[in-house]
């Protein structure tokens, strides 16, 4: 099979038939063998009924319905598990992603050899309340991930080699960072394609400020896991050791300053009367706790089933 199209959706009843007809038209024009995988993320409208009707009309439809709303990442993960095409295309169900982009994305994977191609909606039809936070978010994501050539990490329109989606785990709200997840899994040939962005035709946007805030928190989590996920002592142990040394040296300075004042007959006060003593002591305690955290993290990592899960590209 040439292409699997994975479409996560939530309350998109009106757009589903139009989107599917558009996809079918594009596939027929270019002679692609394909499947369309709808993942209904617990919709409360008639989205599932619309999908069932399509499934009754076409054998190209696969579908999964969650009992409740879990989020886009679980929906994508489930769709990736079911995908059988050589190239996997993801797109949103709100008709803001154009299926006419599919052939170009497919060619970049098959002919140009990319592992992953992300769409870039260079000209957007979103309000400033969404575009400005998106620009700030993408700038931060480029800096942290080291993927300098991507302008829009969160674009729903992406293409993947099948190996990519079978070797990454999308969870929580990590769908924003699939290129980063792919890079960490060893798929480094990541490209970008300028795609057409259409104004929303039906329904309303699911974007909110909470997604912007959560996006930054997820980025920090992903960065930490990629750097120290299998070696937590390198972070917590180093930080704890430095804090303990600083605190210990500070305690010595406080004690020596008192002895020096006593030796020279100068007025002095008790060590326990100095706020610096308690600050130094607190720093030592925190340093010890950080070190022990790293040690416990190493024990957990040592017993993790994923500790030797390496990505092997070729073998003879």
The domain made up of 3-228 has a fold known as Spore Coat Polysaccharide Biosynthesis Protein SpsA; Chain A (3.90.550)
CB proximity list for 177: less than 8 A, separation 6 or greater:
141, 145, 153, 218, 219, 222
- The full set of domain ranges for the chain reads 3-228, 233-302
- What value does the CA radius of gyration of the chain take, rounded to a whole number of Å? 26
φ, ψ dihedrals at 292, nearest 5°: -65, -35
| Length of the chain in terms of residues written | 316
Are the C-beta atoms of residues 116 and 82 closer than 8 Å to each other? no
Per-residue pLDDT tens for 178-198? Answer: 998 899 888 999 999 999 877
Per-residue pLDDT tens for 242-263? Answer: 999 999 998 888 888 888 877 7
> Residue 268 has what pLDDT?
72
Task: Tell which wins on pLDDT, 239 or 85.
Answer: 85
SS3 62: strand
- pLDDT over 70 (residue 201): no
Torsion of CA 122, 125, 129, 135, to 10 degrees: -10
């Amino acid at each position: 099979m040439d292409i699997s199209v994975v479409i996560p959706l939530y309350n998109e009843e009106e757009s589903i038939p139009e989107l599917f007809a558009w996809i079918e038209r594009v596939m027929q024009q270019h002679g692609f063998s394909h499947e369309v995988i709808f993942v209904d993320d617990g919709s409360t409208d008639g989205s599932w009924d619309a999908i069932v009707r399509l499934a009754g009309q076409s054998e190209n439809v696969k579908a999964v319905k969650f009992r409740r709303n879990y989020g886009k990442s679980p929906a994508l993960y489930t769709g990736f598990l079911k995908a059988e095409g050589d190239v996997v295309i993801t797109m949103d169900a709100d008709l803001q992603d154009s299926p006419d982009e599919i052939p170009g994305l497919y060619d970049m994977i098959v002919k140009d050899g990319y592992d992953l191609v992300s769409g870039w909606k260079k000209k957007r039809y979103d309000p400033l309340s969404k575009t400005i936070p998106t620009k700030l978010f993408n700038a931060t994501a480029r800096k942290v991930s080291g993927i300098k050539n991507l302008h829009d990490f969160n674009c729903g329109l992406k293409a993947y080699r099948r190996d990519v989606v079978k070797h990454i785990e999308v969870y929580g709200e990590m769908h924003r960072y699939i290129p980063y997840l792919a890079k960490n899994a060893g798929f480094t040939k990541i490209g970008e394609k300028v795609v057409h962005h259409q104004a929303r035709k039906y329904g309303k946007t699911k974007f909110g400020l909470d997604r912007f805030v959560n996006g930054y928190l997820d980025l920090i989590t992903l960065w930490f896991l990629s750097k120290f996920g299998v070696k937590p002592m390198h972070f917590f142990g180093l930080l704890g050791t430095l804090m303990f040394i600083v605190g210990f040296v500070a305690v010595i300075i406080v004690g020596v300053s008192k002895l020096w004042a006593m030796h020279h007959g100068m007025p002095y006060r008790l060590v326990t009367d100095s706020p610096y003593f308690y600050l130094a002591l607190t720093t030592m305690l925190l340093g010890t706790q950080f070190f022990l955290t790293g040690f416990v993290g190493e024990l957990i990592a040592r017993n993790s089933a994923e500790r030797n899960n390496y990505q092997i590209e070729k073998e003879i």
